[in-house]
Amino acid sequence: MTDLEIAQATPMEPIQKVAAKIGIPEDALEYYGKYKAKLSFDYLKSIQDQPQGKLILVTAINPTKAGEGKSTTTVGLGDALNRLGKKTMMALREPSLGPVFGLKGGATGGGYAQVVPMEDINLHFTGDMHAITTTNNLVCACLDNSIHQGNPLHIDPTKVTFKRCLDMNDRTLRDITIGQGSKANGVERKDGFNITVASEVMAALCLADDLMDLKERFARMQVAYTYDGDPVYVRDLGIQGAMAMVMKDAVLPNIVQTLEHNPVLIHGGPFANIAHGCNSVIATKACLELADYTVTEAGFGADLGAEKFLDIKCRLANLKPNAVVIVATIRALKQHGGVAFEDLKEENVDAMLAGCGNLAKHIDTVQQFGLPYIVAINQFESDSPKEIEALENWCKENGHPMSLSQVWAKGGEGALDLAQQVIALCDQPNTYAPLYDVHASIEDKINTIAQKVYGADGVDFTDEAKAQIDTFNRLGWNELPICMAKTQMSLTDDGKIMGRPTGFRITVRELRPSLGAGFIVALTGKVLTMPGLPKHPSALDMDIDENGKIVGLF
């Protein structure tokens, strides 16, 4: 059965029944149909002083291109904790609609560890993505209108930094020229579209405390430079109020259920490269206030997702994590040991053990953050008994807690051991602290991440990056955390280098201010912020019949 067929074959419970399990009253729900709701503004206010439960982060090693199964493990672990009688919620990212039509598919877990209604969550859900798209493009329309209507802010049309966006994989919108044709069509300039999840509006939403904080974040977003080189902010355009108004519902977290009818908040889903790749602070805090255990995830491997979760999100939102689950697959370990993607189904114990260095480095990173951890092996049908045994032995020999997770095949039942170990980890004291001082120089902060997290010898900055650092220092933008944009496939900035490399350096090519989000993005290579469609897009195989039944969504 496909993920969609499993999801469709499982009857859902009315969302008020799922919410009631965790003590959310019905009048706290703003329904979106029978199986989705937003938590109301008033209810969120009413719970904000409740004591917070334990926070568990699910991260991973550097993945294969198919991913390691972080969402699936998060859902399965949450279901398992509930099976053990622990009041548990999960906080997940909202899927982007664009990739659904391409190749990647949705992001609601898999097998028997899924969040439902998966069709709705992967399509429009409650409209948050569309609100972000609208908010982003309102900035662009007002900015270009200001240039057209006499340009009172003296915006240099060649120095507009804020791009338009759409939630669609559309490569032809990456580099475009707008304002062509007659003079009535505005001022011609080069522009481009990002996919919506790469918009700074998304990053700001995910780090905001509430709607008023989000409005302030909007006001300080930098959108362009004047002819004199001075920054232009959203507050100069005067539309932060309108932007906040457009986001009034999108700022509220969405509640849905797992296939085992446990409550999940899905809210916000920023890119894990030019943004920090975690669901909203609002959703995470709501879970912590409502549940004794909150399981959440961060995009890509621990070098990107966990580092940003721990250095950016937890720091800025004052969150205290309790334990980290590092997901690994035997497939990915074999890839790190030199096996080609096409051959990952074949047994290869030696390659797997050779690839364990990658896992060891991510464990080392989590240890540096002062947090207890466990390795969760996300089991695949192709994993051989010998491979599993060898990996168990490797963990035992190196003193790493480990559990075999079978949530894809068995749901929460497949992660009972993992859940029991996680409960024990959460009871341990920990010494969590971010890795760097936010008041250090931009160069020092990047160096710390590269050396401590990637295992690099050091960082080279291009002349462009150096000039940008000078500008940022002059403008007072330097006292912010760093959001690294790096390939997720490797610990280095070269996606082809597997395993646990040493003796390499990282090159930072560009820095971008993300002042509304509250961090500086450091780009180590070309980051594509608008994906394209493959030769055979998934859209070609999608359909819906006269009874509303969907096929081809995955």
Rounded distance between C-alpha atoms, residue 205 and residue 242, angstroms: 15
3-class secondary-structure state, position 457: coil
Comparing CB distances to a copy of itself, the nearer of 131 and 203 is 131
SS3 423: helix
**From the CA atom positions of the chain, what is the Rg in Å?**
23
CA distance 116 to 119: 8
Say whether 104 is catalytic. Answer: yes
Q: Distance between CA atoms of 492 and 494, rounded to whole angstroms?
A: 5
Comparison of 32 and 461: residue with beta carbon closer to a copy of itself: 32
Whole-angstrom distance, CA of residue 42 vs CA of residue 28? 8
Q: Can you say how many angstroms the Cα of residue 490 is from the centroid of all Cα atoms in its chain? A: 18
Q: Are 335 and 344 in contact (CB under 8 A)?
A: yes
**Known catalytic residue: 504?**
no
Q: Which of 91, 107, 204, 272 is catalytic?
A: 272
Q: Is 64 within any annotated ligand binding site?
A: yes
Closest to a copy of itself by CB, 47 vs 353, is: 47
**Choosing from 93, 163, 313, 512, which is the catalytic residue?**
93
Please confirm, yes or no, whether 487 is among the known catalytic residues.
Answer: no
Give start and end residues of each alpha helix (H) in 296-380. 307-308, 314-317, 330-336, 349-368
Give the shortest CB-197-to-a copy of itself separation in angstroms: 14
C-beta of 219 vs 291, nearer to a copy of itself: 219
For the bound state, the minimum distance from the C-beta of residue 513 to a copy of itself, rounded and expressed in Å, comes to: 23
* 67 annotated as ligand-binding: yes
Report yes or no: 403 and 419 within 8 Å, Cβ to Cβ: no
Residue among 20, 83, 380, 507 flagged as catalytic = 380
How far apart CA 194 and CA 186 sit, in angstroms, is: 21
Min dist CB 538 to a copy of itself, Å, is 8
What is the rounded CA–CA span in Å between residue 74 and residue 394? Answer: 24
Contact 524, 493 (CB under 8 A): yes
Active site residue 461: no
Minimum distance, C-beta of residue 210 to a copy of itself, in the bound complex (Å):
8
Active site residue 300: yes
Marked catalytic residue, from 36, 54, 86, 104: 104
Catalytic, 369? Answer: no
**Closer to a copy of itself at the Cβ: 65 or 190?**
190
The answer on whether 411 is annotated among ligand-binding residues is no
Residue 70's CB is within 10 A of a number of other CB atoms, namely 29
Consult the annotation and say whether 69 binds a ligand.
yes
How far is the CA of 85 from the CAs of 12, 81, 321, 416, in angstroms? 21, 7, 21, 11
Which one, of 166, 189, 20, lies nearest residue 101 by Cα? 166
Residue 19 or 442: which CB sits closer to a copy of itself?
19
Smallest separation, CB 106 to a copy of itself (Å): 13
Tell me if 91 is assigned to a ligand binding site. Answer: no
A 10 A CB-CB count for 117 gives 20
Residue 535 CB, nearest approach to a copy of itself (Å): 5
Can you say how many angstroms the Cα of residue 480 is from the centroid of all Cα atoms in its chain?
19
* Active-site annotation holder among 36, 38, 54, 70: 70
- CB-nearer residue toward a copy of itself: 196 or 378: 196
Of 218, 300, 309, 369, the catalytic one is 300
Structure tokens at 210: 């509430």
Which of the residues 125, 162, 193, 408 is marked catalytic? 408
Measured torsion, CA atoms of residues 133, 136, 138, 142, in degrees rounded to the nearest 10: -150
408 belongs to the catalytic site: yes
What type of residue is 377? I
Q: Which of 38, 59, 72, 189 is catalytic?
A: 72
**Amino acid letter, residue 61:** I
Active site residue 477: no
Taking the complex as a whole, how short is the minimal distance between the CB of residue 140 and a copy of itself, in angstroms? 7
Give the containing element (helix H, strand E) for 257.
strand 254-258
Distance between CA atoms of residues 369 and 105, nearest Å: 33
Is 71 part of any known ligand binding site? yes
As measured in angstroms, the least distance from the Cβ of 111 to a copy of itself is 22
Q: What is the DSSP string of 326-346?
A: EEE-HHHHHHHTT--GGGTTS
Check whether 33 is labelled as a binding-site residue. Answer: no
Q: Which residues are catalytic?
A: 70, 72, 93, 104, 272, 300, 380, 408
Binding site feature residues: 64-71
Binding site feature residues for ATP: 64-71
